[in-house]
Structure 1
Amino acid sequence: MIAKTMVAALFAAAVVLPAAEALACGKHAKPAAATTVAQAAQGNRVELSVTEEGFGPTPVKVKKGEPVTLVITRKTDKTCAKEIMIPAYDIEKELPLNQPVEVTFTPTKSGEVKYGCGMGQMIAGVLVVE
């Protein structure tokens, strides 16, 4: 009986608590590799949400040389992602709760463009520029 209790305690400490802590901070508890790539829709307009799980959807494909408008809506106060930063394009905008914010720019290089919160992009997403 003591062995089962110890195994349960170790499992909670190693698996459950880190996952709960990650969600409380707005991070993804599941690996990013499990996500699929969303396509930019509506003429390079991308609807993004900020929830307790972070920015989504991510990653999103966009086209090099074509203007893209990100429409970001923060849907929770339980996140540190209260602004969006895209360092590669010198973009920084506040994300007021439940108010869509538009960010328009033109990706100039192929590859990945990381965006995220103002806390060192601890909560982040990726645009895949093709």
Structure 2
Amino acid sequence: MPFISKIIKPLLALTLAAAVLSAGQGCSKESKPAEPSAAATAQPTKPGEPRTIALSVTEKGYEPSPVTLKQGEPVKLVLTRTTDQTCATEIVLDEYNINTPLPLNQPVEVSFTPNKTGKLVYGCAMGKMISGVFMVE
């Protein structure tokens, strides 16, 4: 038994250490959605102008999420990536052929007009492992 114990215990310790280290690296996803902020719910100041929505890309992902949009209302997203700790280095919105790089600490504008209602998922280029949601009414 002592021989097996000498082999099994170090293997278990290595496995546990690898699991702990890998949990803090690569793509991560916050399971609880953030509350929408006032910036995400602000309406355009003038009729006919697109609604501007400020989004941040942090270690928690795209924030805020979910954000409610209106079908047919043009939106201008202003995205600022503030971390290099995730794979969310762009925004991919397949339904609107959007795949835009997000340089670190630089605001990037992306405009589109939602043309159908429902849940619209956007995210990183790694299969949207890190994602956000627009609820289009």
What is the TM-score of this pair, normalised by structure 1?
Answer: 0.76
Looking at structure 1, the residues matched to 58 and 35 of structure 2 have their Cα atoms a distance apart, in angstroms, of 18
Runs of 4+ off more than 2 Å: 23-32, 35-40
Q: Which runs of 5+ in 2 are unaligned?
A: 1-11, 45-50
Q: Would you say the 8 A contact 1:64–1:110 is kept in 2?
A: yes
Alignment of 1:4-19 (within 5 A): 17=20
Name the count of aligned residue pairs. 113
Alignment of 1:38-57 (within 5 A): 39-43=40-44, 44-57=51-64
Match among 89, 94, 102 for residue 101 of structure 2: 94
Q: Rg larger in 1 or in 2?
A: 2
Alignment of 1:1-130 (within 5 A): 17=20, 21=23, 24-32=25-33, 35-37=34-36, 39-43=40-44, 44-130=51-137
The amino acid that maps onto 1:106 is T
SS at match of 1:24: coil
What is the TM-score of this pair, normalised by structure 2?
Answer: 0.72
Q: Would you say the 8 A contact 1:26–1:51 is kept in 2?
A: no
Q: Which runs of 5+ in 1 are unaligned?
A: 1-8
Deviation by residue 1:21-74 (Cα, 9 ceiling, x = unmatched): 1x5335234434xx4455532422111001111111000001110101111100
Looking at structure 1, the residues matched to 118 and 31 of structure 2 have their Cα atoms a distance apart, in angstroms, of 23
Q: CA RMSD in A?
A: 2.3
